[in-house]
């Protein structure tokens, strides 16, 4: 019966593929279940010869171990939360910086586009003036020759 329970715990443990905290919580739950099963096995096997004080001491010791594990997991969870918050803050800062860069580049592109349009308009006007001057010179040469 004990070997069957251990086998079930191992199978359950192997089936969990979740990272970090959830996996540790699952393992602790399995350990608690295993400890509970051991105490039941002690009762079943009639090993209750241990006096009441020893049973209480063993239970208190198991409880302290579980409290220690729980505190460690809570500490790790707080660290994970802090790291996630920090990563989110960094990502938001990068997004804002990229948005500012994009706005600056777009404004510069619009400025260059206006400048090019003005240059094209100026060049077009210059070409028209030069064509007009050339036409006048050609007409003048035709009349004088």
Q: How far apart are CA 28 and CA 77, in angstroms?
A: 15
Q: Enumerate the domain spans of the chain.
A: 2-117
What sign has the CA pseudo-torsion 19, 21, 22, 25?
Answer: positive
pTM above 0.85, yes or no: no
The residue count for the chain: 145
Residue 59's pLDDT is 86
Residue 49 token pair: 């010869």
The tens digit of pLDDT for each residue in 68-89 reads 999 999 999 999 999 999 999 9
């Amino acid at each position: 019966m004990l070997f069957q329970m251990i086998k079930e715990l191992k199978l359950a443990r192997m089936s969990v593929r979740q990272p970090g905290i959830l996996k540790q919580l699952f393992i602790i739950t399995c350990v608690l279940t295993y400890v509970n099963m051991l105490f039941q096995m002690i009762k079943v096997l009639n090993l209750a010869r241990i006096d009441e004080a020893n049973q209480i001491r063993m239970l208190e010791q198991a409880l302290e171990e579980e409290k220690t594990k729980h505190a460690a997991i809570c500490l790790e969870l707080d660290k994970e939360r802090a790291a996630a918050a920090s990563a989110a803050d960094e990502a938001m800062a990068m997004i804002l910086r990229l948005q500012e860069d994009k706005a600056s580049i777009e404004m510069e592109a619009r400025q260059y586009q206006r400048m090019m349009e003005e240059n094209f308009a100026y060049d077009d006007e210059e070409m028209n003036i030069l064509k007009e001057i050339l036409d006048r010179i050609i007409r003048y040469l035709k009349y004088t020759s």
